[in-house]
A and B are shown apart, each in its own frame.
Chain A
Amino acid sequence: MKVASLIIGAIAAIGIGSSALAQQSRLVVGQSDKPALINPLQVPAGGRETRAIKRQIFDALVVQGNSLQPQPQLAKSWEVKDGTVWTFHLRDDVTFHNGEPFDAEAAKFNLDMIIAPDSKSAWHSQLSSLIEKVEVIGPYTLQVTTFKPAPTLLVILAFQEMVAPKYYMEKGPEGFEAAPVGTGPFKFVSRDGSTVTLARNENYWGGAPQISELVFKTIPEVSSRIAALKAGEIHIADRIPNDLTDELTGNVKPAVASGTRIYFLGMNVDQDPFKDPEVRRAVSKAIDRDLMVSALYKGQARPLNQPAFPEMFGYQASIEGVTYDPEAAKAVLSSVTTPIRIDVRQADLMLAQATQGFLSQAGLKAEVQVVEDSAFNDSIQSGRSQAYVSSWGVAEGDLDAILYRHFWSGRGATSRYTNYENPELDELFAAARGTTDQNERLALYAKVIEILNNDAPWAPLVNPSEVYGVSANLSGWEPQSTGLYFMTTATLK
C-alpha cells in the first residue's frame, strides 16, 4: 500500500509539473457540444461550436461583428450595381496555410463549389437560388451576379468559409476533412474525436495571434465544464446557463454577449382555441416577460415585444409591440374553455412552466408536456403541436431567416410549425427579398412585424444572453453574439 501511494504521488507530481509548464500559451476552450465537420463544403455543418472552430482555420469574404452586420474580411470592400451585380475587392496579401495564394480565382472556386448542383454544402439551396454566376474580373476582383436583387447575399457569404482550391481538389472532401487548410489565424494540427488542436498562423494577414496553441475540447456536462474552468484546465467555458452565472467567482468570471436566439410560444392557428386571433393576442398579453427575465434569467436576457431582437435587421425600435396586460388577457382567456397543451423540450422546460403559470393566472388552463428532442421537432415541423415553447437561432441577423422558415406560405411540408399563412405577408416577404435597398426593406419589415404582432402566431418571449465562463488570467478576449471567437488579441498571464 505504501509503495502504491508513493508511486501515485510521484506520478501526480510528474503529471502536474509538466502540464503547468506546457500550458504557457496554450489556450483551451471547453465547448458543450461536439463539433461536426470542419470542411465548410460538406454537411453536417453543425452549430455554433463547429462554426467557432471553423472560423479559426478559415476566413470568409465578410464576417459578422457584434452588430451582426457583415464587415470586411477577405473582401476589403464591395459595391452593388442595379441591385444584382456585386463587385468584391479582395485583399491581395492573403495566402492559405499551405502557401497557395488567395485571390479572385480561389474565391470563385469556393462559391462555384457551393452552387454546383451536386454540392453537399449546407447553404447550397439558399445560395444557388440567389447566384446566377461568379466571375473573376481582376486578380483580386470578384463579380457575383444574382438572378434578382438579393439583400441577404452578404450575410450568407459571412457563412461561406474559403478553402484552399488546389489542396481541396488534390485531397478530396475526406482528405480535406482530415487536414483542413484555410487562411484563418490558426492552422489545423490534429483532431482526436472531439478535441481539436490548432496552432498559431505566424503569417496571418490580420496579425499573428498572441497565443501559440488553441484547443477546442468538448465537455458536455455543464458542471464539469465549470469545474474544469475553475481547475485551470480550460480558459473559456461556453454555454453557462444564465442561472449559474453566480457560480463563476474567484479565479473565474462570467463574460456575457447578447444572444441571437429568440424564444417564443408558438400557437397552432389550425387548432382550437388558437384559430381565433383574439385568443392568440390575449395569450401574448398574459405573459410578463420582464418577470421572466429577472426571475428565470437573472437579468441575463432581453424581453421581446416582437419576433426580433435589437441587432436584427428588421427590428422596430420605436413600436410599443406586444405588451403585458393581464386584465385584457383575462377578459378574453377566462371565456376559453378548451384546455391547451404546451409541448416543450426538456432544455426549455422552465420557460414553458413560467409561460404556463402566466396563462393560468389569466384563466387559461394549460398543461406542459415534455417531449424528447427529435419527437418534438417532428411534431412541430409537421404542424401537429397545439402550442409549443421553443427557440430559433437567428445568427444571420435578418428577419428574412424567420419569415422564410416559419411564416412564408412556400415554406413546405417540413416546416409547418404554427400553420400560419398570410398572403399579405407573402407579398411583403417577396418584396423585401426583391430589393437591396435597405431602407425600403426596413419599411417592408415594419409592416411584417406589425402583422405578426397582430396575428400573433408567436408570442415572442425572450432573447437570452450568451454567458461564458472565463479564466481570470485570460485577457484580450470578448465573447461575440455570433458565437465566433476572435482570438488574435487574446493572451494568457
Chain B
Amino acid sequence: MLKLILYRFGQAVVVLLFVSAIVFFLIRLTPGDPVDIFLGEQNVSPEQRQAYRRALGLDQSIFVQYLNFLWNAVQGDLGQSIYERASVSSLVFNAFLATAELAVVGVLIAVAMGVPAALVAAMNHNRLSDRFLSAGALLGFSIPTFWLGIILILGLSVHLGLFPTGGRIGGDVALQKITGFVILDSILTGNLRALGSGLLHIALPALTIAVALAASVMQVLRGSLIAVKEEEFIYALRSRGLTQDVIYRHMLRNAAPPTVIILGVKLGGLLGGAIITESVFSWPGLGRLIIDAIRARDYPLVQGGVLLMAMAFVIVSLITDIIHILLDPRIRDGREGK
C-alpha cells in the first residue's frame, strides 16, 4: 500500500506541473491585460501604464516569468495578487477553507439523504416506494443548481425568514479565528451564537449542493444494493438467522465502493468551488475567487487558485483510492500479492 501511495504521489507532482504550465500560459494567451482592468476607466498615460507593467514583472519574457513563478511556487510563495494586493496564498487558502466547509457539509447531507433512500428503494425493488424514490432522484438530479438556490432563498429566507439569504456568518456575530472553519471554530471556542449563525448560513447552500449529490448517491448505491441483495452470502447470512440490521451492514459494505468513488470524484470537484452555488449565496469560496480573478486577469491569483484546486482534486482522489482499497480486500490483496 505504501508503494501505491508513493506512486500516486509521484503522479500528483507531474499532474501539478502540467496544470501549472497550462494555466500559466493559457491565462496569458487569453486577450486582456491585467493592467488595463486594474486601471479601469481612469485616464492614465502610456508611461504610467508601462510603469505598472514593470512593477508587476509583466515586461519580462513569458518564459522568465514562468520560471520565476515555478521557483517561487516550489518555495511556497505563490506571489501577490495584482488586484487584491494581498498574498495569493492567504487569499486562496481562506477561500479554500470556505469552499471545503461547504463541500463537506454538503456531502454529509447528501449521504444522510441518499443512503437511507437507496436502502429503502433497494429493499423494495420495483415496488411503489422504489419508483417514488427513483423518480425523486431523477428530479433531484435534473434541478439546475441556480434555480434551486434561488427558490430556497425565496421560500425559506424571504418568505418564511428561517434562514439568511447568503454569506458565511452574520455580520454582527464575532468569532475568534482558529482553524478558519466557522462551524469548527465556534465549537472550539464554545461560541453558541456563532455556531447558530454559521449553521443557519451554511444550511441552504449545503442543501443546494446536496440535492444533486444525494441523487447520484441514491442511484448508484441503489443499483449496487440490488445486485448485492441477490448474492449468495446474503442468503447465507439470512439463513443463519442474523438480524436485519446486521444484514444491512454487510450489504452496505459490499455495495459501497462505487458510491465512495462517486462521492470522491464529486467532492474533488466541489473543492474546486461550487461556483454557481457560491455566487447565489454570496459564499466567499474558491470558485468565486477564481472567477473574479479570471475576469480581472489577475494572473498570480488564477494560477494559485487553479493549482490549489488541482491539488485538492488529486489528494481527494488519492484518499478515495485508499478508502476503496480498505473497503475491497480484493484490490488490496491483488496489489500486495505481486
Query: Hey, which bits of chain A sit against chain B, CB under 8 A?
Result: 8, 10-12, 14-16, 18-19, 22-23, 26, 28, 34, 36-37, 42-47, 122-126, 129, 177, 193-195, 197, 215, 217-221, 223-224, 227-228, 230-233, 372-375, 377-379, 381, 392-393, 401, 404-405, 412-414
Contact = CB atoms under 8 A, between A and B. Distances in A.
Contacts of A375: 30-32
B167 to A, nearest CB: 7
A385 B33 CA distance: 17
A137 B82 CA distance: 40
B44 A122 contact: yes
Contact of A405 (B31, B43, B52, B94): B43
A233 B165 contact: yes
Given A223-B150, A377-B36, A11 B195 contact: yes
B219 interface: no
A43 B48 CA distance: 12
B48 A44 contact: no
Contacts of A374: 30-33, 36-37, 295, 297
Given A197-B171, A374-B33, A12 B162 contact: yes
B199 A11 contact: yes
B38 interface: yes
Given A34-B292, A125-B44, A15 B281 contact: no
Nearest to B195: A11
Q: Could you say which interface size class chain B belongs to?
A: 35 or more
A231 B44 contact: no
18 contacts: A8-B203, A12-B196, A19-B172, A26-B171, A45-B40, A122-B39, A122-B40, A122-B42, A125-B44, A125-B47, A193-B284, A220-B279, A227-B150, A228-B282, A230-B158, A379-B31, A413-B46, A414-B49
B157 interface: yes
B36 A44 contact: no
A412 B46 contact: yes
B199 to A, nearest CB: 6
Contacts of B281: 224
B39 A44 contact: yes
A15 B193 contact: yes
Contacts of A221: 279-280, 282
A223 B146 CA distance: 10
B197 interface: yes
A14 B196 contact: yes
A414 B36 contact: yes
A46 B83 CA distance: 9
A218 B295 CA distance: 16
B43 A125 contact: yes
Interface string B165-202: 11100111100000000000000000011011101100
Contacts of A126: 43
Contacts of B44: 122, 124-125
B196 A11 contact: yes
Given A36-B83, A220-B288, A227 B154 contact: yes
Contacts of B162: 12
A15 B162 CA distance: 10
Contacts of B295: 373-374
A26 B42 contact: no
Interface string B13-42: 000000000000000001111001111111
Contacts of B196: 10-12, 14-15
Given A122-B42, A378-B33, 13 more contacts: A8-B203, A11-B196, A15-B200, A18-B173, A45-B42, A122-B44, A193-B284, A217-B167, A224-B150, A227-B150, A373-B295, A378-B32, A404-B43
A34 B291 CA distance: 13
B153 interface: yes
Contacts of A129: 45
B178 to A, nearest CB: 16
B280 A224 contact: yes
A47 B94 CA distance: 25
B43 A231 contact: no
A15 B40 contact: no
A392 B193 CA distance: 46
B57 interface: no
A227 B157 contact: yes
B161 interface: yes
Among A26, A45, A224, residue most surrounded by chain B Cβ atoms (within 10 Å): A224
A392 B166 contact: no
A224 B277 CA distance: 11
A129 B52 CA distance: 18
Among B41, B43, B83, B163, residue most surrounded by chain A Cβ atoms (within 10 Å): B43
A377 B32 contact: yes
A231 B38 CA distance: 34
A220 B288 CA distance: 10
Given A36-B83, A37-B85, A16 B161 contact: yes
